[in-house]
Amino acid sequence: GQYQIGVIVGSLRRDSINRKLANALVKLGPAEFSFKFLEIGDLPLYNQDDDDKQAQSVVRLKGDVKGCSGLIFVTPEYNRSMPGVLKNALDNASRPYGTSVWTGKPTGILGASIGQIGSAMAQQHLRNTLAYLDAPTMGQPEVFIQVKDGFFDGDGNIASPDTVKFLQGWMDRYVQWVKQHAE
């Protein structure tokens, strides 16, 4: 596609509902958008002592983010915040000082939980960090998904047509959001 979007999932779990949600979401994108999943599970724990010799995995993530026209985060909520692995990725790719790759990237945020608030607090904490990192985050529509049994069918598709329609609406807005920032 003409626009490459980096997708970052805040869970490392094999059967992650957030990864499933991300997989279903990217199918709703237009042909001019391509989506690249950026993996964060092999990043070292951020240590400022390593700023002058960042690990290859950090260099890779930073390069990938730089090459993207926009980003999508799909995250679970851990203990009413974003998972440490996600914060660790944000920290690693924000340093050394002055080389943050997050600056100016138009960003969409979604999340799924088995709980009722659908990762709302994790998303709000993520917005806080992205605001500081100067990445504009799309405010609406918000996506707080509660995943119950049967939410995904056997092929990993979202079973409810209403939910698919809602996510299509989100994607259509996000596409406009990215294009707006590309101008």
Q: Please, is 12 exposed, middle or buried when counting C-beta atoms within 10 Å of its C-beta (0-12, 13-18, 19+)?
A: middle
Least gap, CB of 125 to ligand FNR (angstroms): 11
Phi, psi for residue 34 in degrees, rounded to 5: -120, 155
Task: State which residue, 125 or 173, has the beta carbon closest to ligand FNR.
Answer: 125
Using CA of residue 21, residue 177, residue 162, residue 112, what is the dihedral sign? Answer: positive
Does an H or E element contain 112, and which? strand 107-113
Angle at the Cα of 83 from the Cα atoms of 81 and 87, rounded to 5 degrees:
95
Least gap, CB of 32 to ligand FNR (angstroms): 28
Cα 92 to Cα 62, 70, 75, 143: the distances in Å are 9, 18, 18, 26
Q: By CB under 6 A, tell whether 18 contacts ligand FNR.
A: yes
Least gap, CB of 137 to ligand FNR (angstroms): 20
Task: State which residue, 18 or 92, has the beta carbon closest to ligand FNR.
Answer: 18
Task: State which residue, 89 or 178, has the beta carbon closest to ligand FNR.
Answer: 89
User: Total binding residues for ligand FNR by CB under 6 A?
Assistant: 14
Reported residue count of the chain is 183
Task: State which residue, 33 or 151, has the beta carbon closest to ligand FNR.
Answer: 151
Q: Which of residues 49-108 bind ligand FNR (CB under 6 A)?
A: 76-80
Residues forming the site for ligand FNR (CB under 6 A): 11, 13, 16-18, 76-80, 113-115, 117
